[in-house]
Structure 1
Amino acid sequence: MLLIVIMLIVAYLCGSLSGGLIFSKIMHLRNPSEFGSHNPGATNMLRVNGKFPAFCVLLFDMLKGLLPVYISYRLGIAPFFLGVIAIAACLGHIFPCFFHFHGGKGVATAMGSVIMLGYDFSGLLLATWVIAVLVTRYSSVGAIITFLLAPLYVWFIRPEMTMPVAMLSCLIIVRHSSNIQRLFKGEEPKICFKSKNKPIQ
């Protein structure tokens, strides 16, 4: 149990590292928490600074979800608690202790954390997100549809993980409540794939 508690703390601290703020400083770009939707995640990084910085943030945010779960798996922690550790990493991304508890939506971190459940499951999630985004041009719609379907997917592939994945999905969907309101009002911004890469002046 002590090992599980330690890994929960490690996962939360890893999740608290904000890829958007870190890469905006390294690349001397605009801080995504001060522009666009003020969200430090990859989608707002795309809107504010372009494709390559957004890709870096996406990869970073996925890795910080994957690594704690992978380490926990190698340490022999039970599958159910692997799901709880994934949730801890997402909570770190959403409420980062290093950045005044103001974080992103947790989608990339959640996607990274479930890779350990198998490439079939994570591949289904990725395909669902890509198709939904290409059809609607809304990143939020992609995330909502993907995590609505995630518990169903995992029930067929790894049924013992249905409960933690359902908990993770609820967290992501609740986090998108403001996006859902904007979608109904027609105020949700669509994804723009134009490259910007504008350095700060």
Structure 2
Amino acid sequence: MPLIESTLAALALWAVIGYLLGSIPFGMVLARAMNLGNLREIGSGNIGATNVLRTGNKTAAALTLLLDAGKGAAALLLARFVTGHEDAAQLAGLAAMLGHCYPIWLGFKGGKGVATFLGLLFALHWPVGIGACIAWLVGAGLSRISSMGAIVAAAASTFLMMGLGAPNALILGVILTLLVFWRHRANMRRIKAGTEPKIGETST
């Protein structure tokens, strides 16, 4: 029983650490630091890199993309390095994704989680991460719609895990995919209606 309790306590600790890392709103921090305005009042109001790009500052958007991806990867890799257990690592990664999507500092109204999702995939199994990025580029490139790229990448990730030798991450991958779909439900409705903005256009 003490061993079980210790294990559960360790998992809970890494879940909290992962959530706190994931909940850092780098997009908003960078926008304010670079005098780009309040992201909540720009474009879609989202805190992610796509909306930061709508400020016209490509450097800020690129930094947001890298930092949002990095925080997901950092949570997973740090837990993996410290504990040596994949369960703790994957739980920390999932918590980081939830932290980005539902940050306590912003009233649980965060981003769509695409960059964090891709960062997690790289940390889980880098070939899957590369494959998902290629899927995003294909989806976004053909449609000229950023959210389409995210949906295609999320859908492809589960198959990539099965095909590229990461079956131990399959359950986490399915959960992350469903979360990306859920966060993009409004985008999917607009894509179906033909009203989703193209890359570079202003979102509503």
1:63 aligns with 2:70: yes
TM-score relative to the length of structure 1: 0.91
Partner of 2:42: 35
Match of 2:189 among 173, 181, 197: 181
- Percent identical residues: 31
Aligned equivalents of 1:83 and 1:164: distance in 2?
Answer: 7
Deviations 1:15-65 (A, max 9, x none): 111011100111111222211011010011112233111001101101110
Partner of 1:78: 85
Structure 2 SS opposite 1:171? helix
Show structure 2 runs of 5+ residues with no match: 1-6
Deviations 1:64-108 (A, max 9, x none): 101110111102343344333222111111111112211110111
1:126 aligns with 2:133: yes
1:54 aligns with 2:61: yes
Q: Which has the bigger relative contact order, CA under 8 A and spacing at least 6?
A: 1
Structure 2 SS opposite 1:65? helix
Partner of 2:171: 163
Deviations 1:118-166 (A, max 9, x none): 3211110111111211111111100001111111111122111111111
Q: CA RMSD in A?
A: 1.4
Partner of 2:26: 19
Aligned residues: 193
Partner of 2:101: 94
Partner of 1:4: 11
TM-score relative to the length of structure 2: 0.90
